[in-house]
Structure 1
Amino acid sequence: MSGLVSGLDHLVLTVRDVEEAVAFYASALGLEAITFGAGRRALKIGVQKINLQTLGQETRNHACIGSGDFCLVTEAPLEDVIARLEAADIPIIEGPVEKSGARGPILSVYFNDPAGNLIEVSRYV
């Protein structure tokens, strides 16, 4: 039997301040901020998005501020990613370092958003 799931539509990050997160991701990675539903905010990445919520906004999950850990893929050289992070005064926690992505070997850099979520930006080798 083949899998029932074919892709990722969106993920949700719990943050202290939604607008601070919007500004961070726009500055750090150039993500486009969008508004949906009843004024909810999200960050667009291609055909996927990252929805932003504050603690307690969603009662069906066990969210914690800063518990997110995810990997974004880039086509840009990692040197460009590093330069953008440095220009925005965002400390790099680790990298570039070799890791294993869903489709094979990747080079990655790691950093945190203002809420403490761990972000990995990777390029396939």
Structure 2
Amino acid sequence: MNGIGRAKRILVVDDDHDILDLMTIILTQEGFEVEVLDNGYTIIDYVIGNVPDLIILDLNLGNLDGRDICDDLKSNVDTQHIPIVIFSATYDRLYPNTKKCDADAFLSKPFELQQLKDEINGQLTKSALNQ
């Protein structure tokens, strides 16, 4: 899925361990190196020390809002280049009162496997072209 060369690293951040396990299985089978975090409290420090090629970030992380984490990552010079895909069962990007963030893409849970693959490939391709 990610072409020739080193495996692309994807960080998945979700407080649901079943989702983390499922995403790890799916993405590993597609040839990605997968890292997971089950909370957003340490994500900035973690990402700076372990720069992934893409982040898949849940919108609802217990007491944290994924949009705030996304904004923090996008406003940090060391992490702003990393594509971020937000996914959630409750996010409606068309609803005008929903708090916005600077994510590169949004996926609604549940999503189709092909939709996930297409979004990841699209974001990685776009990121490679921008470097």
Give me the TM-score of the superposition, normalised by structure 1: 0.30
Higher strand share: 1
Greater relative CO (CA pairs within 8 A, separation 6+): 1
- Larger Rg: 1 or 2? 1
